[in-house]
Amino acid sequence: MAPHPESTPSRRERPAKPALTRAGIVAAAVGLMSTEGLAKVTMRRLAQELDTGPASLYVYVRNTAELHAAILDELLGTVDLSPAGTTGDWRDRLVRVLTSYTAVLFEHRGLAPSALVARPSGEHYLALVEAVLALLDEGGVPADQAAWAVDLLLQFATATAAEHAPHDRAPGAEKADMTTLATVLRTVPAATHPRIAELGEDLLSGPGEARLDWGFRVLLNGIPRTPRPA
């Protein structure tokens, strides 16, 4: 039964929708990612969330890739950069900054694979890069090596987080795979794979935090000693 004309609210009586802004769009995208996952954050789905048309969003964000990069930059605002402004061994402080960056990606695991190819350029990404460069400079790393080292360090952290990101697999699949791999490493024939047989499950040993810390320090110990190619 159609409503009586008098009961239908006039368009003039409806509350006005808040004006679209890039900051508001990114904030809505972050919220959508938290509830539905990054794969669901498309321009069409976001337009539904904001009660507008996709064409309206393209005024502020060029495409989905730029939107995902903007989400990443927004979340980078939670990285703890305070160690860069303290005293102590520069390597220890830089590892703390990089570990905080990795922790942010672990907290939003669906974002980690996208972060491998995203190209953020916002204020939070720039602040992170500046903090890393400042600590490398404090450690006496030549400027040209530091310029390449930023990408290397962030790439290692991002890849570590992406390795453990969900990939639409059944619950427990990752644990089952690791159990299978551990069994294979423990029982591999020494005649054909002597080095693997010697190390066995030690190839998988150690907590993730320790391996991450060790990986950062391997890079930081080698970067100052490895000049860029001519």
Fold designation for 17-61:
Arc Repressor Mutant, subunit A (1.10.10)
Which pLDDT score, from 0 to 100, does residue 35 have?
A: 87
pLDDT digit string, tens, across residues 137-172:
999 999 999 999 999 999 999 999 988 776 555 667
Q: By percentage, how much of the chain surpasses pLDDT 90? A: 63
- Quick check: 228 pLDDT over 70? yes
Which pLDDT score, from 0 to 100, does residue 84 have?
A: 95
Residue 137: partners with Cβ closer than 8 Å, 6 or more residues away = 143, 146
Which pLDDT score, from 0 to 100, does residue 202 have?
A: 93
pLDDT digit string, tens, across residues 174-185:
788 889 999 999
- Quick check: 4 pLDDT over 60? no
The CA radius of gyration of the chain, in Å to the nearest whole number, is 24
pLDDT digit string, tens, across residues 90-140:
999 999 999 999 999 988 877 888 888 888 889 999 999 999 999 999 999
Question: To the nearest whole number, what is the mean pLDDT of the chain?
Answer: 88
